[in-house]
Amino acid sequence: MVEISNITLSFGGKTVLDDASISCADGEIVGIIGPAGSGKSSLLLAAAGRLKSYRGSVLLDRRDIKKMNKREKERSVSFFNGASPLNIEDTLENFVVLSRVCGRSPLSPLTDVDREIAGTYIADLGIERSSSEKIGELCKNDLVLTLLAHAFTREPRTIVLDEPGRFLDLNSLRLLHRTLAKISARAHAAILFCTSDINFASQMSDRIAVIYQGRIVEEGKPSIITAETVRRYFGVDAVMSKNIFNGRPEVHFFPEN
C-alpha cells in the first residue's frame, strides 16, 4: 500500500504540489488525471522515491520512503516514465529479466524462475516476437512495452506509472489494460498511474483522483468524471456516454465547426 499525505513541493519559488494526499491499497489501481502542469508527474516522482525536497510523507507499507535505502526502494517500488535505458545494445529479453536483480545482492544469480516471470510479462504485452532485438532497434511502441515489462517483472508491492499509454497503438493499449488487471488480481500490487487520457483512466482505474494546480480536487470511482468535471478542470466542452460493456463514463469532444 502507498499512502501519500499532505505533499507540498515548490520549484524556483513556484508551488507544484499543494497539500496533496492520495492512497492506493494493495490490489487497487488508482489513476490520476489533470491538465498539463497540474503536478501529476511530480506527485508520482515523490511516490516512487525519486524526490526528497517535499514536505509531507510517502509511506510504502507504512514505511517512510525517505528512510529506505536504495536497495529497499528497488525491492518495494517500480517506476516507469518512458525513459530509455542506458544500455541500448542489450536485448529486449535480457533487459527485462535483469530487472529481477534489483534490490538483491550483486552476486545473486538469475534463476529459471526469474526467466519464467520475465517471459510471462513479455508474452502478456505481446513483444515476444522481438525478444532477441536490441533495445536501440525497437520501434517506439515496442520500446514502451519493453520498459513496462521491465517494471512489472520486478514484481514489487507498489508500481508507479507516468503516462503508461503514451505512444501505444490500439492493440498494445488493450494488452496493457489486460496486464494491469492481471497484476492487480494476482500480485496484489498497489498500482498508481497518471495519464492525460481521461478515457484510459476511466476504463482502467478502480478509483480516480483529479489534480488541479497541485491539489487533489476530486476523488472517487470513475463515475466522478462528468462533462462538468472536464469543463471545470480541463477547459473543454465535452459530451459523455457510458461504455456499453462496463457502464464506465467515456468522454467525447465536439467536432470543430
pLDDT tens digits along 191-221? 999 999 999 999 999 999 999 999 999 999 9
Flag whether 57 is in a domain.
Answer: yes
Is the pLDDT at 254 greater than 90, yes or no?
no
Flag whether 101 is in a domain.
Answer: no
Total domains in the fold of the chain = 1
Flag whether 139 is in a domain.
Answer: no
Q: What is the pLDDT of residue 102?
A: 82
β-bridge partners, 162: 194
Q: Give the pLDDT mean for 128-151.
A: 97
Q: What is the pLDDT of residue 186?
A: 80
Flag whether 143 is in a domain.
Answer: no
Flag whether 238 is in a domain.
Answer: yes
Q: What is the pLDDT of residue 257?
A: 56
Q: What is the pLDDT of residue 80?
A: 97
Is the pLDDT at 168 greater than 90, yes or no?
yes
Q: What is the pLDDT of residue 109?
A: 85
Q: Which residue has the cell 522481438?
A: 130
Please state, in angstroms and rounded to a whole number, the distance separating the CA atoms of residues 183 and 178.
9
Q: What is the pLDDT of residue 12?
A: 85
Flag whether 93 is in a domain.
Answer: no
Domain that holds residue 190: 2-82+157-253
Flag whether 126 is in a domain.
Answer: no
Q: What is the pLDDT of residue 256?
A: 67
Residue 60 is part of a domain; what is its CATH number? 3.40.50.300
Is 22 within 8 Å of 190 (Cβ atoms)? Answer: no
Is 194 within 8 Å of 162 (Cβ atoms)? Answer: yes
Is the pLDDT at 170 greater than 70, yes or no?
yes
Flag whether 32 is in a domain.
Answer: yes
Is the pLDDT at 227 greater than 60, yes or no?
yes
Q: What is the pLDDT of residue 188?
A: 79
Mean pLDDT over each residue of the chain, to the nearest integer: 94
Closest CA to 207 of 192, 188, 189: 192
Vertex 212: Cα angle to 178 and 65 (nearest 5): 65
